[in-house]
Structure 1
Amino acid sequence: MLSQYFKFTSQQKTGIFLFLIIIITLQLIYFFVDFNQNEKTFPEETKWLALQKEIDAAKEVKYTEKQKVYTFNPNFISDYKGYKLGMSVEEIDRLLAFRKENKYVNSAEEFQKVTKISDSLLNVIAPLFKFPDWTQKKNEYKADKKEYVQKTFPKRETIILKDINQASQEDLIAIYGIGDALSSRILKQKEILGGFVSMEQLEDVWGLSPEVIAQLNSHFKVIMPSGFKKIAINDATLKELSQFPYFKYSLAKQIVTYRSMNGNFNNIEDLIKIKGFPVEKAKIISLYLEF
């Protein structure tokens, strides 16, 4: 029965033979021919690869080189620093209590005496200690110490304070750090205020540094002029209050309204209750007011 399936014509036999040859040929090609395409390389890629090698080499050096050791003054060890060094809480507290007495340890031995740390821990952390140079050369200083000879200095000349409200432009320019512009601003501010009542008001003059203000305080003081007239806060009109340099019109209006609804002001604390009042200037403002 099966033999009838294997009966082929001469053409069929030829076709089967050619098919087998094709299969064998493809198999041979598959095993012996390299189908991998040559990868294309670019000059930029070569540069990047070379740079990457340098980066990798630098990282390797960084990881292999020995970590740098930083020294420190053991007098200023914090809780966290002491914990990282291996000190116990009691040992750290002893050092902090010692420092609160404004005392310092000047050697590793003194450090151990105060903290009572073990010899093994001291041997580990002592190489990290760095004390001031003078503690290491204390004996040298003592040896070189000479007899103290008291020196006499010329008596410092007493500066007579002038009245800032009577100062002229020439008086102001004589102060180091003040020129024509700053002296003009000071005189203008005095004119606006109707006279200074406190040296603190110089801080409001634009351009005056703290150093220059200190110089002014060492040469001038405020003397209230005999004819200085204060503002009667409980009788002043809205116009009078709004003309006061430290009060804006809106604040002056609120003061008059508050006064009419709540009665007279007894002190500066009553004025501070008004919204928008310059509290930071309350001390100076009170010098201008009469309650």
Structure 2
Amino acid sequence: MKIKSYFQFTNEQRRGVLSLLLLIVIIQLSYFYWSSSKSTSPSNSNKSWLAMQSVIDSLKISQSSSEGKIYPFNPNFITDYKGYQLGMSLTEINKLFEFRKQNKYVNSALEFQQVTGVSDSLLLAISPYFKFPDWVNQPKKAFSSFDKNTYENKKSIIRKDINEATQDDLIKIYGIGPALSERILKQKDVLGGFVTMEQMESIWGLSPEVIENLNKYFQVTTIPTVNKIDINNLSVKELAKFPYFNYTIAKEIVTYRSMNNGIHSIEDLTKIKGMPNEKIKIIALYLEF
């Protein structure tokens, strides 16, 4: 009788139990609906990541498509890493470096192979991307037979002052195109003018043949008023901008002048480590001691 009494409820108790069960069902249904709606609608942070996914995918595609792509380059200035990327061996790269140390340049794919010793298959793969200076690709003019008239024409050539030359004047010289003519004029502007035709040898891209042609038609008639630099007061950064110096030489200049109470003559310049002494007389004309 006692056990049975535990399972007997009054009407009020039954209504309470039913209400409790109904409340539990409502809570379960509410939780199920809330969790499902949360999983289907992403949060603001998730929306941001989803928006970025398309950008990430496009970058991956762009990166994969650019892998292995070779851009035109001058083979004379291949670095260790560039040579490795192209498939050159260390021996082949070193052969090119030794050749360049002699201040020589390769001017064709065949000459590149002769210097480095690369295989025919590698040369065939990389040579279409070789880019040489303009004057290398210009066909050489055939020499006409010597006659008296030609000799007389050469005698009548009037050389123009290089400091008064325009771009049109320079382009008329065989071997000089727009790029080289702009380089010559830019060097002249930086220096304030050329003091000797020997300075043409310091302009990158001018071959000995082109320099010879320049000397036929141009000269330095009068020494211009050049842009002199104050070697005793300029900073390393400012000195390094001078075409005949670089950052290393500029540091040596500052070190020397601080230890010797300044630089006062060409003789002092020759004592500076790294100074290009073969050009010292030209350099001195642009300095203010």
Q: Same fold (TM over 0.5)?
A: no
Q: Which has the larger radius of gyration?
A: 1
Instruction: Tell me the TM-score normalised to structure 2 length.
Output: 0.42
